[in-house]
Structure 1
Amino acid sequence: MSQLLVQTKLTLKYDLDLKIILFAVLYYIAARLGYFLSFQDTTALPAWPPSGIAFALILLMGRVTWPGITIGALIANIMAYWNTPDVPAQTVIAVSSCIAVGHTLEALIGNYLIRHWIRDDYPFRNARNAFRFLFVTLLMAVAGASIGTSGLMLFGLLPEERLLQSALSWWVGNVVGILLFTPFVLALVRGRRITFNLEKGIEITVFLAGIAGLYMLLQVDYMAETIGRALPFLILPFLLWLAFRFDLIVAITGVLLASLFAIYLTINREGPFVLSESSNSMLLLQIFIGVTSISTIILSATVRERLTVQRELQTFNSNLETMVLDRTKELNEEIRTRRLAEEKLRKTNEELSKRNAELDNFVYSVSHDLRAPIASVLGLINLVRKDKDPKMREMYLDMIYRSAQQQDHFIKEILDQSRNSRLEINREEVYFEPLIAETFEQLNLAFVNEKVKKHVTVHQDGPFYSDRWRLKVILSNIISNSIRYRNGRDPEIRVNVRANQDRVQVSIEDNGRGIAKEHLPKVCKMFYRATDDGHGSGLGLYIAKEAVEKLNGSLNITSREGEGTTVNLEIPMMRA
């Protein structure tokens, strides 16, 4: 484990050493580029590329790579001052060390401000951070310029009266170098893919055509001087166009090329920035490069921020639409649920109202219908006590029996109604042929003196699933009515059943007295009697209809007075 730890530390150390060496090499190359762009009659530089390169690399590689700046700056300055006449080697080394310390502190200050103030190693994502980057650039360049010029003055290479001018020129050169090269390196390393389409292709063509047009105008003799002087103003819209329409890497590359070209022309005493004194030419050139760089960086950051906000707004709108659709769906579901609840409540209220009305009617009718047979029995018992004739007593006992039988039938119907309302539906196998036979057998016991002719036809391929008890109650009540309300002749009842795996259709037809047309809509109401002969309780068809509705079926009655009645049932099979 310890060996692995040591090996890891060595690997990290070698990796850091390689970064520092690479840092120093790049710094030195950038310094040679800066010296190449220097004016011949002045020690000041229009731009110091190493400041920008060092700032970008310390942001990318981290603070621990700062020795690379010191090493690169030390070597570059020793090489620059080594051949200076009348300057001892130890002075060259001391001055170079002082300048190297200044450039190192410059990069470290910038890195600290970026990490702790902007808190983003790519400070060009929005306009606010771009302005902060500008402030950091102005501030950090003070360290390098002040320490460097102080070192030159301290070792006698710079007169005291030129200290402020040299420091200002040095500071501007560092600022220009940072503004040009730091955004370029950061945008380049970031590696954002540049996408080209037909529209961008047309824009690039127009851009190149505009540059070519400026060049052609410069070739026209009578316009050459004017166009040459106005060239900085004419080139600026093209650079801003790049910043507005393309990513920062494209825009800053355009600014970098234009700046290097302008520096090259100016040091060769050509172009619009050439003035009588080199220092003034360099200052004018630096102002142009600084303003162009700042404008391009700020505009690019603003455009990027706008595009980011637009994308976020589009995403928000898309999410908002999704949220609205989801919420609308939820509201619709809530509305549907509420409507179902309201409908269920309405049906429940209707059912309760119906049950209350039926209960009132039930209490009244039951009390009347239960009391009538009891009163009849009591009266007949008194007659039996008074009458000594055996035949009359036999007749009275027979009448008591029929009254008791009527009361028993009435109580049975009340119990059937109670069970139908109270009990859950029970799914079981039903075969209609034995069910109908069982119903007729029970009715034969109730109607002993009746000779019933029955014709039963059943078409059933397999078991039918439903509530057997309720089906029997339905058949019993309908068939008992067919027997009870005969038309002065023996009852004849035809039962036809057709059952399949979906539903059962039952038709019960009799030759009884029939039902008058005006009574048909009411015969299924509780305690409704279509006749006044007092045979029935008025509950039979009501119970049958309620049981059919419990099974989600339908009941239909057709009748012709004096000929008979047909009851048609249709009941769906219960699914598991």
Structure 2
Amino acid sequence: MNIKLPLKYQRDLQIIGVALLYYLSARLGYFLAFENTTALPTWPPSGIAFALMILLGRSAWPGITIGALVANVMAYWNNPNLGAQTIITISCFIAIGNTLEAVTGNYLMKVWIKDPYPFRHAKNAFRFLFVTLFVCVIGAGIGAASLFYNHVTSTDTLLRNVFSWWIGNVVGILLFTPFILAIAQGMKQRIKPKKFLEIGIFLFSVTSIYFLLQVDYLAMTLERSLPFLVLPFLLWLAFRFELLVAISGVLTTALVSVYYTTVNNGPFVLTTPDDSMLLLQIFIGVISITTLILSATVKERIDVQHELQKFNENLEAMVEERTRALNDEITSRRTVEEKIQRTNQELSKRNTELDNFVYSVSHDLRAPIASVLGLINLARKDQEATMKDMYLDMINKSALQQDHFIKEILDQSRNSRLEVKREEIFFEPLIDETFSQLKFATSTGKSVEKIIRIKQEKPFYSDRWRLKVILNNIISNAIRYRNGKDPVIKVDVEIADHNVTLSIEDNGKGIEREHLPNIYKMFYRATDDGAGSGLGLYIVKEAIDKLNGNISIDSTVGKGTTVNLRIPEIA
């Protein structure tokens, strides 16, 4: 209930407030009036009414009418030459004129200027000036006509009354309307420290002029020169500060000038009050118009500078964004090109391997079969039991060779197709299992001595099957190409920093140095004894690449071979 009550009477309170402001400003206008003349140097209510109409809208017009009616009744009430009915009639017409003046000005602001604060652009400031000159004709014309038709003024003074009334209203709007609108806008920017220095210089200069006026030698000259001395300071305020500061300086200068002129002091005092008032009004109009136009021009320039700065920032951001997009596109294209290049290289490699594979498979698969068929024919023809046992051993060797070859082909196919699988690895049982499976890799010769050293304190995570394939091929090569006496295979395993390092060393036949660069190629054989298929180290290299590891082989003919592996743990 306490909230709804003020809202219900908000418009009534607004009207009363407008009427009160109008009346008080009228009292200020009468206070600044010249003696022995009905004209006023400035009529503040015109500016107050115009500003309130702009800020509050058409709902403010009853307050303007009421305030104007009361102010004019009070002004003419003590005139002994006018009756009450005449006073009320004159006051009503003047109130209507003042109201129409404000309403018309508000309408033109909306349809022509289209900005409730017309001092952002020089064009709108000029339009505000033209609106002021036009609407003041309404108030002055209706007011002067009411006095004429009620026989307060004569025909001889009608035109002069209209002009005096009009210029007083113009001065009132030029002084008070921008001031109130600037207060409503508020200070958009805080005054910077360097501006305080300028304010200090301004105050010091004004104070210096005041003290110079006290010097008899300079007093008369400076007094006559005051309008010229004041103008640079007002332009300074308009150029360096916002409109609120500049128009405050103009308003202060105008009110002080009016007051001193009404008491016959200052540079505007002429032979008659009307002449003094006209000169004063011209001065006030000039400084007001100059300040408003200059302030609007400076504001427009600052806004343009801010817009250009913002545009430059946006342009820089757009350029950076576009550059970043182009860089991303270039990087993406480069990545795609590199991927295509790698794919082409991989395809070329696979095609070469496929050609070699077809050739070698056709040869290595048919060779054991042809050998078996030939041995079977020999066994049929030869009747000796000892020869048949030899033939069976030879057939068994050919079958084992073919089985080993087929197993390597399956390992290669599986390694290229299957994804890496993360499993818990303990190397001691894995290596023991590998040696157990290769125990009968050959049927002749002495057994191999194995020396195994494993440094593993916790599980290692990798692909168990691929590790098994790697160890099986390397250890089987060490066994297959062992020397004729005391063969030894040393296996050293160490796990540190999520990496496993394996070293497999033998004292076998070794590999000639010219063969080392090619030993990872498919079907490449470093010896001509036909014991291997040429796939073992190729499969080892492919499996290590799948695990993101690396391999290096150091070998000396007649002394042995050392294979070093480093494989990272799968996260």
Select which of 151, 171, 174 maps to 1:176. Answer: 171
- List per-residue Cα deviations over 1:500-535 (Å, max 9, x = no partner): 561222222222111122222222221111111111
Give me the whole-angstrom Cα distance separating, in 2, the residues matched to 1:482 and 1:99. Answer: 123
> Are positions 1:573 and 2:542 aligned together?
no
Select which of 85, 96, 100 maps to 1:90. Answer: 85
> Are positions 1:71 and 2:51 aligned together?
no
Give me the whole-angstrom Cα distance separating, in 2, the residues matched to 1:438 and 1:212. Answer: 107
Give me the whole-angstrom Cα distance separating, in 1, the residues matched to 2:114 and 2:104. Answer: 14
Q: How far does residue 390 in structure 1 lie from its aligned partner after superposition? A: 3.7
> Are positions 1:36 and 2:38 aligned together?
no
Q: How far does residue 47 in structure 1 lie from its aligned partner after superposition? A: 0.9
1:17 maps to a residue whose letter is D
Which residue does 1:130 correspond to in 2?
125
Change (3 A) 1:563 1:231: same
Which residue does 2:367 correspond to in 1?
372
Select which of 297, 300, 305 maps to 2:292. Answer: 297
Which residue does 1:347 correspond to in 2?
342
Q: How far does residue 322 in structure 1 lie from its aligned partner after superposition? A: 4.6
Change (3 A) 1:10 1:68: same
Q: Is the 8 A contact 2:353 2:522 kept in 1?
A: yes
> Are positions 1:431 and 2:442 aligned together?
no
Tell me the TM-score normalized by structure 2.
0.92
> Are positions 1:17 and 2:12 aligned together?
yes
> Are positions 1:544 and 2:544 aligned together?
no
- List per-residue Cα deviations over 1:248-293 (Å, max 9, x = no partner): 2221121112112222333334433333443333222211111110
Give me the whole-angstrom Cα distance separating, in 2, the residues matched to 1:184 and 1:462. Answer: 84
Give me the whole-angstrom Cα distance separating, in 2, the residues matched to 1:430 and 1:200. Answer: 77
Provide the secondary structure at the position in 1 that maps to 2:305: helix
Give me the whole-angstrom Cα distance separating, in 1, the residues matched to 2:289 and 2:18. Answer: 26
Tell me the TM-score normalized by structure 1.
0.92
Which residue does 1:412 correspond to in 2?
407
Q: How far does residue 231 in structure 1 lie from its aligned partner after superposition? A: 2.4
Change (3 A) 1:538 1:187: same
Map 1:116-515; keep pairs closer than 5 Å.
Answer: 116-192=111-187, 195-196=190-191, 198-219=193-214, 223-450=218-445, 451-489=447-485, 491-500=487-496, 502-515=498-511
Give me the whole-angstrom Cα distance separating, in 2, the residues matched to 1:202 and 1:501. Answer: 67
Range 343-352 or range 459-468, more displaced: 343-352
Provide the secondary structure at the position in 1 that maps to 2:225: helix
Give me the whole-angstrom Cα distance separating, in 2, the residues matched to 1:205 and 1:440. Answer: 98
Q: How far does residue 177 in structure 1 lie from its aligned partner after superposition? A: 0.5
Q: How far does residue 220 in structure 1 lie from its aligned partner after superposition? A: 5.1
Q: Is the 8 A contact 1:81 1:92 kept in 2?
A: yes
Count of residues in correspondence between the two structures: 570
Q: How far does residue 320 in structure 1 lie from its aligned partner after superposition? A: 4.5
Provide the secondary structure at the position in 2 that maps to 1:44: coil
Structure 1: 5+ residue runs without aligned partners?
none
Q: How far does residue 484 in structure 1 lie from its aligned partner after superposition? A: 1.4
Change (3 A) 1:189 1:406: closer
Range 343-352 or range 177-186, more displaced: 343-352
Q: How far does residue 229 in structure 1 lie from its aligned partner after superposition? A: 3.2
Range 399-408 or range 335-344, more displaced: 335-344
Q: How far does residue 321 in structure 1 lie from its aligned partner after superposition? A: 4.3
Range 143-152 or range 492-501, more displaced: 492-501
Q: How far does residue 180 in structure 1 lie from its aligned partner after superposition? A: 0.7
Give me the whole-angstrom Cα distance separating, in 2, the residues matched to 1:454 and 1:23. Answer: 111
Q: Is the 8 A contact 2:441 2:476 kept in 1?
A: no
Range 113-122 or range 134-143, more displaced: 113-122
1:508 maps to a residue whose letter is I
1:443 maps to a residue whose letter is L
- List per-residue Cα deviations over 1:57-114 (Å, max 9, x = no partner): 2333442232222222112212222232432221111011110111111111122222
Q: Is the 8 A contact 2:503 2:565 kept in 1?
A: yes
Range 157-166 or range 268-277, more displaced: 268-277
Q: How far does residue 557 in structure 1 lie from its aligned partner after superposition? A: 1.4
- List per-residue Cα deviations over 1:222-251 (Å, max 9, x = no partner): 654444333222211111111112222221
Q: How far does residue 42 in structure 1 lie from its aligned partner after superposition? A: 2.6
2:66 maps to a residue whose letter is I
Give me the whole-angstrom Cα distance separating, in 2, the residues matched to 1:392 and 1:527. Answer: 34
Range 275-284 or range 251-260, more displaced: 275-284
Change (3 A) 1:489 1:9: closer
Change (3 A) 1:534 1:9: closer
Q: How far does residue 9 in structure 1 lie from its aligned partner after superposition? A: 7.1
Give me the whole-angstrom Cα distance separating, in 2, the residues matched to 1:459 and 1:10. Answer: 90
Q: Is the 8 A contact 2:441 2:480 kept in 1?
A: no
Q: Is the 8 A contact 1:464 1:500 kept in 2?
A: no
2:142 maps to a residue whose letter is I
Range 121-130 or range 544-553, more displaced: 121-130
Structure 2: 5+ residue runs without aligned partners?
none
Give me the whole-angstrom Cα distance separating, in 2, the residues matched to 1:541 and 1:510. Answer: 16
Which residue does 1:555 correspond to in 2?
551
Give me the whole-angstrom Cα distance separating, in 2, the residues matched to 1:324 and 1:332. Answer: 12
Range 89-98 or range 442-451, more displaced: 442-451
Provide the secondary structure at the position in 2 that maps to 1:567: strand
Q: Is the 8 A contact 2:50 2:102 kept in 1?
A: yes
- List per-residue Cα deviations over 1:480-510 (Å, max 9, x = no partner): 1112112223533222222356122222222
Give me the whole-angstrom Cα distance separating, in 2, the residues matched to 1:557 and 1:222. Answer: 112
Change (3 A) 1:502 1:12: closer
Q: Is the 8 A contact 1:110 1:140 kept in 2?
A: yes
Give me the whole-angstrom Cα distance separating, in 1, the residues matched to 2:111 and 2:119. Answer: 16
Which residue does 2:104 correspond to in 1?
109
Change (3 A) 1:137 1:573: same
Q: Is the 8 A contact 1:461 1:500 kept in 2?
A: no
Q: How far does residue 447 in structure 1 lie from its aligned partner after superposition? A: 2.2
Change (3 A) 1:192 1:525: same
Q: How far does residue 359 in structure 1 lie from its aligned partner after superposition? A: 1.7
Give me the whole-angstrom Cα distance separating, in 2, the residues matched to 1:202 and 1:568. Answer: 80
Give me the whole-angstrom Cα distance separating, in 1, the residues matched to 2:331 and 2:485. Answer: 58
Q: Is the 8 A contact 1:482 1:491 kept in 2?
A: no
Range 83-92 or range 11-20, more displaced: 11-20
Give me the whole-angstrom Cα distance separating, in 1, the residues matched to 2:348 and 2:333. Answer: 22
- List per-residue Cα deviations over 1:390-409 (Å, max 9, x = no partner): 43333333322222221121
